[in-house]
Structure 1
Amino acid sequence: MTQDFNTENYFKQIYARPVILETQGLSQVFQHDQIKRTILKQIDLKIHQREFICIIGPSGCGKSTLSRVVAGLDDFDSGKVLVDGKPIQGTSPERGMVFQGYTLFPWKTVKENVMFGPLMKGISRTRAEEMAREWIGIIGLEKYENQFPHELSGGMKQRVAIARALVNEPKLLLMDEPFGALDPYTRQKMQKHLLDLWQNIDITILFVTHDMDEAILLADRIVALKANPGEIREIIEVNLPRPRTPDIMQSDEFKQLKAHVNHLVHAQDDIEIDPAMQNLPSIPRMTQVSTQK
């Protein structure tokens, strides 16, 4: 552990920065026929410039819903969502989004995918190509700029998706389990690459994950949600030094923090469990092969 890291000073500096994203009493209710279910309830959250925030919680707690609402992809029933103090109105390039699935245009090359956003903003093709090449260089895929998505690995596709979001110079990057489909080795490499990007550019990140190790490794603060309804259970300041590498996961401090996060995520009352996981039916026997040795 780095001895000269001062947690109190670190967070004092964060809280002195401007608030980029604020939600005030944010609530969302899902209704299907006569059934109503509160997905998000009274979410009050302030995220400061260049913070790295991770959202974590049990299945069905509204993690992805929160990110989609902030992105402007989903409506909400009550409350406010403010970016730089102004209410959001639909989607915007100032809020870039990276999903778990590889949402690249399959008929466009890497370069064309990254150029897409600037072209939609009315930037000239020459300048859009310059911007795309700059970001393709930053993510280390210069040799692949003329390749199509089906010719890339999963990690490469997500690097292109990140570049496609960042080329628009967003104030906020929203990431919904972006590394969930990757193998453990590639996931670890992508976590390091994302931290390198974040530490070197002016970007604020809201990152949804179900992986506690990932949340603790990446975040300044972890927002733990409880389910049914989705409310903030606790906001945790991650008191681990920056920059972080996977080695920090072996430290006692990391393990203690993980135990606390694990308790928050899994110590749910029965009423808070995802309804789809309640009253699971018994499985009828469909084989005569014995499970006994």
Structure 2
Amino acid sequence: MKATEFNPSEYFDSIYARPVILEAKKLSQVFKHGKNERTVLNQLDLKIHKREFICVIGPSGCGKSTFSRIVAGLDPYSSGALLVDGKAIEGPSPERGMVFQGYTLFPWKTVKENVMFGPLMKGASNASAEASAREWIDIIGLEKYENQYPHQLSGGMKQRVAIARALVNEPKILLMDEPFGALDPHTRQKMQKHLMDLWQNIDITIIFVTHDMDEAILLADRIVALKANPGEIKEIIEVDLPRPRNAELMLTPEFKRLRDRVDFLVHAQEDERDPALENLPKIPRMTQVSTSK
């Protein structure tokens, strides 16, 4: 039986027909230091639909992490509006889970105890929290490690526990801020596949911050490309590649076409470079060892 041919138009029509779960309206964030001000995010307008996988990408200083922290409710914003299901975000909530690049597990708690933490804070009984934790530990494939502590786990294992700890609360939105940035390439690739499998099988919207262009194309339905100084939406790219995706897809002309486009948006504008990298001073001679033969 011939596989159904992927139709990008139909795929994105189906996404846009879903309810809007997150909406930013003229969202701005201004950091103040004494008399100085720096606009990190400027007038962002964005609609994210239920069960979308969104990647946010851009040069250093464009406000990627700031945006994810604002959506998580960890930081306030300066002006505009940010709505989840039409209601304003007013601080952290279990409906928005967060996974950071750093391993933010409690080092004094076991894997099971780390995953149980959220349900217990929501008022679940110990038995109920343990049952939920075990379910998610099984899903991430760490049932043999449930009684081990974070220092006994590899980096990939720690991030799987962090993902389970976020998902056990059944959030509507999972925010991930460069969660695989510290992993080696092989582990990173395995985690990307595991995350795609999770997303395709549970009812969740993912907002994934990354600086890795290949990762963004491999994972996302749409890529939100930000420009820096100030952080504004430069373009939103529909990733018109069939799912499921794998590493072999990265060798195709279609993938290369998208990568060239994303690379241009992130790196090609000379006047939007990080100002801290402009006019770098000449390095003074500090050694007598020659680099020439």
Runs of 5+ unmatched residues, structure 1: none
Q: Which residue of 2 aligns with 1:236?
A: 237
* Structure 1 residue 275 displacement after superposition: 2.7
Q: Could you say what secondary structure the match of 2:243 adopts?
A: coil
Secondary structure of the residue aligned to 1:233 is strand
CA RMSD across the alignment: 0.9
1:274, distance to aligned residue in structure 2 (A): 2.0
Percent identity of the aligned residues?
Answer: 78
Judge which range, 260-269 or 84-93, deviates more: 260-269
**Which residue is equivalent to 1:281?**
281
Q: How far apart, in 1, do the equivalents of 2:63 and 2:177 lie?
A: 12
Query: Whole-Å Cα distance in 2 between the matches of residues 143 and 41 of structure 1?
Result: 47
* Equivalent in the alignment of 2:183: 182
Aligned length: 291
Q: Which residue of 1 aligns with 2:259?
A: 258
Residue 3 of structure 1 deviates from its aligned partner by 6.7
Q: Match for residue 11 of structure 1?
A: 12
1:167-178 matches, within 5 Å, as 167-178=168-179
Aligned-pair CA distance for 1:258: 0.1
1:72-221 paired onto structure 2 within 5 Å = 72-221=73-222
Deviation (angstroms), 1:277: 1.8
The superposition leaves residues 190-240 of structure 1 with CA deviations (integer Å, 9 ceiling, x where unpaired) of 000000000000010000000000000000000000000000000000000
**Aligned partners of 1:210, 1:282: CA distance in 2, in Å?**
28
1:280 shift after superposition: 1.6
Q: For 1:34-81, what per-residue CA distance to the aligned partner results, in whole angstroms no more than 9, with x for missing partners?
A: 221100001101000100000000010000000001101111110001
Aligned residue type for 2:61: G
* In structure 2, distance between residues paired with 1:89 and 1:115: 25
Aligned-partner Cα distance in 1 for 2:68–2:31: 16
**Cα distance in structure 2, aligned partners of 1:269 and 1:245:** 33
Residue identity opposite 1:151 in structure 2: Q
1:263 alignment partner, SS class: helix
1:241-280: CA deviations, max 9, x gaps?
A: 011111100110000110010000002242x222322222
- CA distance in structure 1 between the aligned counterparts of 2:149 and 2:275, rounded to whole angstroms: 41
Kindly provide the CA deviation profile for residues 8-49 of structure 1, in whole angstroms up to 9, marking residues without a partner as x.
000000000011111000000011122211000011010001
CA distance in 1, matches of 2:24, 2:145: 39
Counterpart code for 1:205: I
Q: Any residues of structure 2 matched to 1:31-42 within 5 Å, and which?
A: 31-42=32-43
Structure 1: distance between partners of 2:249 and 2:288 = 48
The offset of 1:282, in angstroms, is: 1.3
SS of structure 1 residue aligned to 2:106: coil
| Structure 2 residues without counterparts, runs of 5 or longer | none
2:290 is aligned to: 290
Counterpart in the other structure of 2:224: 223
Amino acid at match of 1:287: T
| Structure 1 contact 117–167 (Cα < 8 Å) conserved | yes
Q: Distance in 1 between matches of 2:208 and 2:41?
A: 17
- The answer to whether structure 1 residue 47 and structure 2 residue 32 are counterparts is no
Q: Distance in 2 between matches of 1:172 and 1:115?
A: 19
- Structure 1 residue 116 displacement after superposition: 0.2
How far apart, in 2, do the equivalents of 1:277 and 1:156 lie? 36
Distance 1:239 1:77 in 2: 35
Contact 1:98 1:162 in 2 (8 A): yes
User: 8 Å contact 1:24–1:44 — kept in the other structure?
Assistant: yes
Is this contact kept in 2: 1:226–1:268, CA < 8 A?
no
CA contact (8 A) 1:26 1:81 kept: yes
Note the alpha carbon deviations across 1:117-162, whole angstroms, 9 max, x for none: 0000001110000000000000000000000000000000000000
